């Protein structure tokens, strides 16, 4: 399988100079709608996981504490430049989403846009998101997902061998992933290409 952390770091470093041309306009509305589902409060501590070039920044409140991580150093540099251009104070750090270097319960909001369909192990990434979220925190997800009520067929799985290596996994299901990681989904909204791209807002489920 070519979808590994090492491969993702390499390919997104290569994609970085072209990423905005491909993703900025196409995902502007989905990003805005997804972030609009979050209940924002001044002073919140917010983490953008897999922040890419920082395309979420224009749609975020200015009165929150912002942290951004990405696997690719080239992406992190572009996030820093975008934050500076926008006049925003953002702590951007190179970091693996499956091994976040933050303490438990550190964030009020974790944003995961267009990363769960890319990660080699999305369940581990979601487990890390849950770990660093406060007990009443919010998880904001926007990504492409296979329908929850049926697994991918053989044709889709065969095509996925190619797409997961060069772009994205097309077989992952939102609800099984989030609920399996201990989240309670509160909002689930189609935002692009019918129901292929969805925005979900979830909170950690109470144990027991």
Is residue 2 predicted with pLDDT exceeding 60?
A: no
Q: Is the pLDDT of residue 208 over 50?
A: no
CATH 3.40.50.150 is right for the domain spanning 5-204: yes
Query: What is the dihedral sign for C-alpha 192, 168, 170, 35?
Result: negative
φ, ψ for residue 5, nearest 5 deg: -60, -45
Q: Give yes or no for residue 28 having a pLDDT over 90.
A: yes
Please write the tens of the pLDDT for every residue from 110-159.
999 999 999 999 999 999 999 999 999 999 999 999 999 877 677 777 66
- The Cα angle at residue 173 between residues 170 and 179, in degrees rounded to 5: 155
For 129-160, letters b (16+ CB in 10 Å) and e give bbbbbbeebbbbbbbbbbeeeeebeeeeeeeb
Q: What are the residue boundaries of the structural domains of the chain, listed by start?
A: 5-204
State pTM to two decimals: 0.91
The predicted model gives 66-76 an average pLDDT of: 96
Kindly report, residue by residue over 30-39, the tens digit of the pLDDT.
999 999 999 9
Token pair 């487990």 is found at: 127
Instruction: Give the mean model confidence (pLDDT) for residues 1-9.
Output: 73
Beta-bridge partner residues of 144:
197
- What pLDDT is stored for residue 1 in this prediction? 46
């Amino acid at each position: 399988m070519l979808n590994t952390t090492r491969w993702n770091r390499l390919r997104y470093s290569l994609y970085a100079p072209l990423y905005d041309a491909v993703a900025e306009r196409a995902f502007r509305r989905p990003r805005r709608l997804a972030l609009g589902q979050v209940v924002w409060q001044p002073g919140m501590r917010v983490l953008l996981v897999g922040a890419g070039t920082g395309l979420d920044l224009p749609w975020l409140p200015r009165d929150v504490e912002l942290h951004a991580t990405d696997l690719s150093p080239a992406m992190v540099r572009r996030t820093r430049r975008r934050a500076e251009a926008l006049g925003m104070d953002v702590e951007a750090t190179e970091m693996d989403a499956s091994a976040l270097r933050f303490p438990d319960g550190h964030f009020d909001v974790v944003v995961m846009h267009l990363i769960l369909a890319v990660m080699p192990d999305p369940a581990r990434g979601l487990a890390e998101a849950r770990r660093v979220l406060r007990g009443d925190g919010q998880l904001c997800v926007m990504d492409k997902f296979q329908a929850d009520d049926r697994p991918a067929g053989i044709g889709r799985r065969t095509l996925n061998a190619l797409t997961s290596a060069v772009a994205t996994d097309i077989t992952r299901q939102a609800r099984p992933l989030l609920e399996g990681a201990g989240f309670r989904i509160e909002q689930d909204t189609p935002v692009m290409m019918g129901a292929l791209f969805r925005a979900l807002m979830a909170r950690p489920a109470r144990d027991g």
